Amino acid sequence: MHIFLINPACLDRRITDEDALAVPMGLYYLGALLKDKGIEVTLVNLAAVPEPLAHLENLLKQHQPDIVGFSLLNASRHCAMDGAALAKKINPHVTVVFGGPGATFLAGHLFSVCPALDYIVKGEGERSFCELVDHIISTNISPPHHIKGLVFFRDKNIVDTGDSVLIEDLDSLAHPARYFDYQHISLSRGCPGRCRFCGSPQFWGKSRVRFHSVTWFVDEMALLIQRGITHFFISDDTFTMDKARVMGVCREIVQRKLACTWVAISRMDFLDEEILFYMRRAGCIQISFGVESGSETIRKTLGKPFKTGRIVKAFEMTRSFGILPRAYIIYGSPGETTATIQETVDLIEKIKPLSLVSYILVLFPGTGLYNDLLSRKKISPHVWKQKIEDIPWFQLDPNLTLEQVTDFGKKIRNTFFSRIEQYALEIALVDNRALYPFHADFLSRLAMTFSHGDYSNHPRVKEPLKTAALLYERSLSYAPDARAYLGLGMLHQKQRRFDRAVALMEKALIHFGNDKSLNICMAVSLMNLGRFSDALSFLEKFKSHDDIQPYVNACKSKL
C-alpha cells in the first residue's frame, strides 16, 4: 500500500504567502500515523512547484500509489480536481480522497463536479482517514457506512456518515517530526473566537479548544531542531489562550536550551506583560494580531468586538518586550466608507505596527458571512463552478466599487510605509537587564528590514539606510550582537568608509571571533584599503570553504 498525501496549489499562484506554500499540518499528522502502521507515504507539495500538474503526473507514473489524498482550501479546489482526474486517468483503480476545509464545506458541490472523487473526509481527519485506509486494505467491497466523518456517492445519492468523534488526547497522535521536516507547528486545535470572515469556527465546531501537553509540544520542537529546523511558525488561532500552558512551553524551551526562534498569532485579550517576558526569552520574535479595522462598528460586524484602547495596549506591550507586532487589516467590509478607512488609518498611527498585512474582505464557504448570504439566497453554491478562489465582498455590496476598494487599500499601505521609519525609531523597550541581549537581537532584526529587507527599497520609505544605521547602533548599546555588527559594517562599506568598518569589526571579533560573515566583512574592508596580507589572516581559518576561495585568490594575486 502506497499513499500520496497532496497539498494542491491555489488557483492564483502564490510566491511569498508562507501559509499557502506550506504543506498543511494535518497531512504530516496523517503521514506519521500511516507510517507507524507500516504504510508507505509520500507527501507531495504542489503549491511549491511551478508546474503542479506536470509534477504530479511524473510522480503518479513513477510511484503508482493506491490512494491519493488531497487537502483542500477553497482556493486550491481546482488543482485538486484536476489532480484527481489525472490520477484516475493514469490508474482507474486508484482511490481519490479529499479532505480539509475546502472539502468539508463543499462536499455536495465537489461530488457534482469531480467524477474522479471517491470519498471526502470531513473536519478532523486522522481517525476517519485511517479507518478508511484499513477498510480499503481489507478489500471489503461494501460501502464504509460504519466510518464516521465520511461523505461518498452511492446509488446516485450522497451518503454522509455523520461527524467523527474528535480526538480528545492530542498527545496520542504520532510525532510527525520523527518522519518529516516542517516549520508549522501547533499547540492546540480549535479557536475561542467567532470571526465571521474565517472558516475556523465552523471547521472545528463548538467543541472546546483542545491542547497538546507542554512536554509533547516541546518534544516536537526538539525533534525538529535535531533535524536542522530552527525557526517555527506556531499556527494556533490563538496561541496565548492558555497562559499557564504557554508559560510552561516557554520555561521548557529555556530549560532545554533549545536554540530556535518562532512566531505566533494572538488576540489582544489573551496577553499581558508576564507572558510576553517568557515568550521573548524562549525565542518569540513576532506576534500577529487580527486588528481588521479601525472602526469599532466594522470590527463588531466581523466578529472582532475589541475596543480600540485594548488594541493599542496590546501593540505597545508587545513592542516593549522586543517582539515585533504585526497587524492584519481587512478592508472593503460591510459598511466600509472613506470615513471608516480614515478610522483604520488613525488606528494604524496609534498602534505603530512594525509589520502590516492588508487584505480585501473575501467570502468563501464555511465563514459566517458566506453562510448568512447563502441562507438569505443572496448567493448560490453554483458560483463555485467558476474558476475563482473566493468572492470579494465589494462585488455583492451596491455601496462599494472596485475603484473605491483599491483606493482604500492604497491609503492603508501608503500610511504604513510612510510612517514605518518613525514607528521603528520611537520604540520604547522595557528596562530589564535580563532582556538586554534580546533587545539587541530585536533591534538588529528590525534594522535588517531597512538595510536589506522589505523596507530597503520601498518608495515611501525615505531614508532606509539611515534608519538601519540608527537601529544597529541602538542594538549594540544593549549588548554585543553579531547581526548588528555585520549590518553596520556593511553600511560602512557601502559608504566606502572602510577604516570605520575595520574598527567596528575589531570590536565585533572580540565577541564573535569565529563568525564567518564578520571575518569576511573584515577581510573585504582590509582588501579595499590595500591591506591584502592582513585580509588573508582573517580568511585562512575558512580556507576550506568554497565561497572563501575567491577572496583568498584575490588577495594572493595582489601580494
pLDDT along the chain (559 residues), means of 10: 97 72 94 96 95 97 97 96 97 97 94 96 95 90 92 91 92 96 95 86 80 97 97 94 96 98 95 97 97 96 93 98 98 97 98 97 93 89 92 95 97 97 98 98 98 95 97 98 98 96 98 97 97 95 91 92
pLDDT recorded at residue 207: 65
Tell me what pLDDT residue 16 has: 60
Q: Where are the domains of the chain?
A: 2-160, 183-361+409-428
Q: What confidence tens digit (pLDDT) does each residue in 50-108 have? A: 999 999 999 999 999 999 999 999 999 999 999 999 999 999 999 999 999 999 999 99
Q: 66 and 1 in contact (C-beta within 8 Å)?
A: yes
* DSSP H or E stretch at residue 150: strand 150-154
CA 76 to chain centre: 17
First to last CA, the chain: 65
CA 217 to each of CA 33, 184, 203, 214, 345: distance values in angstroms, whole numbers, following the listed order: 17, 12, 23, 5, 38
The model's pTM: 0.94
Do 193 and 267 touch, CB atoms closer than 8 A?
yes
pLDDT in tens, 502-540: 999 999 999 999 999 999 999 999 999 999 999 999 999
Rg (CA), the chain: 26
pLDDT in tens, 219-270: 999 999 999 999 999 999 899 999 999 999 999 999 999 999 999 999 999 9
The residue type found at 423 is Y
Nearest to 423 by CA among 319, 345, 323, 352: 352
Contact 211, 252 (CB under 8 A): no
Are the C-beta atoms of residues 471 and 444 closer than 8 Å to each other? yes
Q: 333 burial class (0-12, 13-18, 19+ CB within 10 angstroms)?
A: buried
| Candidates 3.30.70.20, 1.10.357.10, 3.40.50.280, 1.10.10.10; CATH matching 2-160 | 3.40.50.280
Contact yes or no for 61/90 (Cβ under 8 A):
yes
Amino acid at position 228, single letter = G
Packing angle, helices 308-320 and 338-351, rounded to 10: 30
Residue 344 near residue 406, CB atoms below 8 Å: no
The residues, any chain, with a CB within 8 Å of residue 50's CB and separated by 6 or more, are none
The pLDDT of residue 17: 63
The closest of 410, 416, 481 to 443, measured between CA atoms, is 481
pLDDT at 206: 67
Q: What φ, ψ does residue 67 adopt, rounded to 5°?
A: -135, 135
pLDDT given at position 377: 86
CATH number of 183-361+409-428: 3.20.20.70
77: number of CA atoms within 13 Å, CB side? 27
Q: How far apart are CA 325 and CA 542, in angstroms?
A: 38
**Three cell numbers, residue 317:** 506591550
What string of DSSP letters covers 236-277? -TTGGGSHHHHHHHHHHHHHTT---EEEEEE-TTS--HHHHH
Q: Which of 121, 124, 56 is closest to 84 using CA atoms?
A: 56
CA distance 308 to 347: 8
